[in-house]
Amino acid sequence: MAALWRRARPPPASGLCRTLRALSGKNEYDLLVIGGGSGGLACAKEAAQFGRKVAVLDYVEPSPQGTAWGLGGTCVNVGCIPKKLMHQAALLGTALKDAQHYGWNISQPVHHTWKVKYFNIKGSFSDPHTVRGLTKAGKETVVTADNIVIATGGRPKYPVHVAGALEYGITSDDLFWLKESPGKTLIVGASYVSLECAGFLTGLGLDTTVMMRSVPLRGFDQQMASLVTEHMESYGTKFLKRCLPTKVEKLKSNRLQVTWKNADLDKEETDSFNTVMWAIGRAPDTKTLNLETVGVKTNSETGKIIVDASEATSVPHIYAVGDITEGRPELTPTAIAAGKLLAQRLFGQSSELMDYDNVPTTVFTPLEYGCVGLSEEAAVQRHGSDNIEVYHAYYKPLEFTVAERDATQCYMKMVCLREREQRILGLHFIGPNAGEVIQGFALGIKCGATYPQMVKTVGIHPTCAEEVTKLHITKRSGLDATVTGC
């Protein structure tokens, strides 16, 4: 069973700990995990299943606005889980509007009420087998282990060049813990965090604006990203494009006045908001780990830890998993899988490595965007435009018909190699329940599915997912890709 280091347990004196270790030649633990998020906990639990003695150190540095939480990391507390719940709350608001078209009588005005519930050892290396931790009260604890896994994840970035950004702005770390509605909100950034939060705030009836410097959803297929933002605009979210904030000031009314430079108009503009949220990316939480003391190499530009295919750092017996590692997807499921496989290699006589290819994901904007594999741009870059075939279709979900909802952005495309086998390189889907749709197809693509195999698959009628199995029009043909019927 895992031995979790708890504050209730009296910490040993550091000097005594080192003395005992020197006398015995042994460390206290087989595995020490620094970070109690998804990847760290998955690794710790898996190691414990092999009967190993495991310690977990977890501490959340409060955000500049004072927000902190307990065990579980970003995903559970301020990421995927609350995000999906707020997304669902917004979808229910839309469903209430649709319900009237289906014959439900909703006589009273419907409004959303903002409601949030609130429910911590900070470690740094002193040598390659020893981590010193401080509790909130400042008490010191020293833990030694044969193997150490760093899984401290990342925290949202603040724009250092923007006056007032730190004093008056919040991030996704704070949004889900607000006691009152954020009101009129400006979200700066075009990441999936930005668009997801803007989407559900708009869905909850709030005046919401997204300020983006360049392209939305960088790293994702850009045709799909454009369709996502087009739908969000039609849904009510405002966009300030090619704009860069320069300062945030607090007015006597307590509203926040934001000044920004509009690159298209080459002039300064201002507006006031109740809340300003920064969603300009995330930085690895490595600063206090003292990595340089033990020789763990990091990327000087990103601050992320450099690891090999087995999640090993530059120091033997020190590993890293999750968002803190260079070149890995910043996704909860990949951190969990990598953590489990690492524990199995360390303690279970396994040699299986984490496979980071064809990892599916979904952006939970009002109209969801799910994808797996290569974007069209990446496929062209890797194989050349003459060597890929793109099958695509615009479609209308059945549930949109009665409510007469606009389906202009409901679209899917399958990126394939043009060779005779036509192996599927990527699948992209915008529409209801995109995550549920992509999850199943991801297995096929992971197994090397081809276009002929896909079109031989019988679709489930009537679903949106069945439209994937009916894709037959190529971009190269120039034909209208709108689905007109069965």
Angle at 426 between CA 459 and CA 376, to 5 degrees: 125
Kindly report which listed range (2-6, 115-119, 254-258, 331-335) carries the lowest average pLDDT score.
2-6
The tokens for 371 are 């994808």
How large is the average pLDDT for residues 201-217? 96
The contacts of residue 186 (CB under 8 Å, 6+ apart) are 209, 211, 256, 258, 271, 273, 275, 276, 277
Over pLDDT 70: what percentage of the chain? Answer: 92
Kindly report which listed range (51-60, 233-242, 414-423) carries the lowest average pLDDT score.
51-60
In the chain the domains, ranked by start, together with CATH numbers, are 14-71+120-156+283-347 (3.50.50.60), 165-280 (3.50.50.60), 367-477 (3.30.390.30)
- Beta partners for 310? none
Cβ atoms of 301 and 327 closer than 8 Å: no
- Comparing 72 with 301, the larger pLDDT belongs to 301
How large is the average pLDDT for residues 64-81? 73
Output the average pLDDT for the chain: 88
Ranked by mean pLDDT, the top range of 12-16, 52-56, 96-100 is 52-56
Question: What pLDDT score was predicted for residue 93?
Answer: 82
Exposure letters 161-195 (e unless 16+ CB within 10 A, then b) = ebebbeebbbbbbbbbbeeebbebbbbbbbbbbbb
| Calpha distance 478→88 (Å, rounded) | 37
Contacts 24+ apart (CB under 8 A), 191-195: 191/217, 191/218, 191/279, 191/280, 191/281, 192/217, 192/220, 192/363, 193/156, 193/279, 194/279, 195/228, 195/229, 195/232, 195/363, 195/365
Kindly report which listed range (182-186, 282-286, 312-316) carries the lowest average pLDDT score.
282-286
Question: What pLDDT score was predicted for residue 103?
Answer: 83
Res. 4: pLDDT tops 50: no
Nearest to 264 by CA among 213, 216, 312, 335: 213
Question: What pLDDT score was predicted for residue 55?
Answer: 86
Q: What is the pTM of this model?
A: 0.86
Exposure letters 25-59 (e unless 16+ CB within 10 A, then b) = eebbbbbbbbbbbbbbbbbbbbbbbeebbbbbbbb
Res. 85: pLDDT tops 60: yes
Computed over its alpha carbons, how large is the radius of gyration of the chain? 25
Reported as a single tens digit per residue, the pLDDT across 28-42 is 899 998 888 889 888
pLDDT level of residue 97 (50, 70, 90 thresholds): confident
pLDDT level of residue 143 (50, 70, 90 thresholds): confident
Angle at 193 between CA 371 and CA 113, to 5 degrees: 115
| Residues with catalytic function | 461
